[in-house]
Amino acid sequence: MNISRPLRSFRGGTSAVAVGLLVLGLVAVAVLLVRASSAAFVLFVFELLAILALATLRWPRAMLVVVVLAPIVDRFVIAPLISPQIGSVAQYFSEALLAVVGTVLLAVSLRDGRLMPAIRHPATIALTGFVGLGVVSALINGVPLLAVAAGFFYTLDAVALFYLCRLVGFGHRQAVLAIGAVGAAVVLMALIAVGQGVLGPNILGLDVFPGRSGETARIGSIVQNPNLLGSLIALILPFSLFGLVRLPSRRTRWAMAAAALVLAMALLLTYSRGSWLGVLFGTLAVALLLDRKVLLAAIGVGALAFLLVNVMPRDVLVGSSPGAPRPPSDFNIIDTTAERVGNVSGGRDLRTLLALNAIPILRDHPLVGVGPGRYGGAAAAHFPSPVYLQYGTNKLLRFQFQQTVDNFWLHLLIEGGILGAAAFIATIGVVVAGLVRTVRRAAGSRYVMVAGILMATAAMSIIAGTTMSLEGNTSAFMFWFVLGIGSLYGADPGPA
């Protein structure tokens, strides 16, 4: 059975528009209800999940796009509009939605006999090895069951989207529409970020915060987290770059060029050096391997973005009212980056200190690590870890805003050891290997999709060395969704 062929029982050419209007209407009702009654809001949330479960039967692929974008909406759009008590619960709506949509798709796939073909992939073998090694590590280190469950959940919940893509199946046109819808949302966030730079950092009630290397304001758009915005841009920018070079329509190429320019400008305004490095080296590696014209296009887009960010008007609306915040200084990449490099090379950067602190932990637990939920991630922040006390990691993670090691691979290496980290990397690697075999046989828009997924994966893998971007949801949801679609191209490149 070719699982890249969509389920025939799922139809609807206007699915994206219909689901989009449905979700927007329901979200508006939810916001109005919470202002009137918390109990009514909670009741409506359960009704909303039931409605979206039914929508999944009609528009499964569009609902997967909704799931991917849900962490952005519930955490950064809905939560600020309601009370802190309800808002803290509303942030987990995306997880509940993933569970509901996943359950519906699993049931339908069991009925249609698509479950086994969907999970019959080399990535499943590697992922099973990762979980098995984690269980062994938990037993050896005596990790409590709740901490083990939390450790696996935060690391692996987003992986469900990889398999949901395979359960549903995406034809090429549907894959383009799905990633295009996600990409449009990221471009919109990038436009808002540029608007913050031009009009003022606090437009639309958004907040910014100063950097640690002299940046007066690091812009994060509606997600209000520069590193998170940088990760989302890194996942979408590759499709614009390859589309700019490879798509046949001149009008479409101009649209891709405009999108790439907006994304690059927003990326610069984040001051997220990890995202810069991810995009830089991800682009270099994949473009040199596949198409050097894309590298030239990336250089051109990057140079123009840098010029525009430096010469564009800044903070036009700031100062028009009493008590307005002090505007950020002009974009200053040279001095601030030099200071950050100096901190890293001088051993003053927190990520460097955490990496040095982890060396004796790895030396004592080299093969299977200290166990799930014990180091570096959200689980270890919620459940007291004896590892932190034993090795003095708690003395470094002493600030409320700094509860993770900001390095997903370090977190994975210490919790799972060399074997566990290798198994997780292999889960991604086997998909990449399939895409590398496929890209040479693809052409046109199929080539753009396959090459874009390869570059996005490379960029995100580098970024994960400076953030926890592959833990939890938000950017991790988007990453595994893109990779899941990529696994279908790896199985069947189809005609050009």
Structure tokens at 53: 């479960």
Structure tokens at 392: 């003095």
Structure tokens at 387: 């590892």
DSSP state of 218: B
Question: Helix (H, G, I), strand (E, B), or coil: what is residue 209?
Answer: strand
Res. 117: pLDDT tops 70: yes
CA–CA dist 457, 452 (Å, integer): 8
Judge whether 411 and 186 are in contact, CB under 8 Å: no
CA–CA dist 439, 458 (Å, integer): 15
In this prediction, residue 10 carries a pLDDT of: 43
In this prediction, residue 49 carries a pLDDT of: 85
Residues 70-99 have pLDDT tens digits of: 999 888 877 776 666 666 666 778 899 999
Which of residues 339 and 471 earns the better pLDDT score?
A: 471
Specify the amino acid at residue 170.
Answer: F
CA–CA dist 307, 210 (Å, integer): 22
In this prediction, residue 92 carries a pLDDT of: 78
Judge whether 90 and 82 are in contact, CB under 8 Å: yes
CA–CA dist 114, 7 (Å, integer): 9
Burial class (CB in 10 A: 0-12, 13-18, 19+), 395: exposed
Query: What is the CA 405 to chain-centroid distance, rounded?
Result: 17
Residues 51-67 have pLDDT tens digits of: 889 889 988 999 999 99
In this prediction, residue 98 carries a pLDDT of: 95
Which of residues 7 and 446 earns the better pLDDT score?
A: 446
- Compute the mean pLDDT over every residue in the chain, rounded to the nearest whole number: 86
Residues 300-350 have pLDDT tens digits of: 999 999 999 988 988 788 754 444 444 444 566 766 666 666 666 566 678
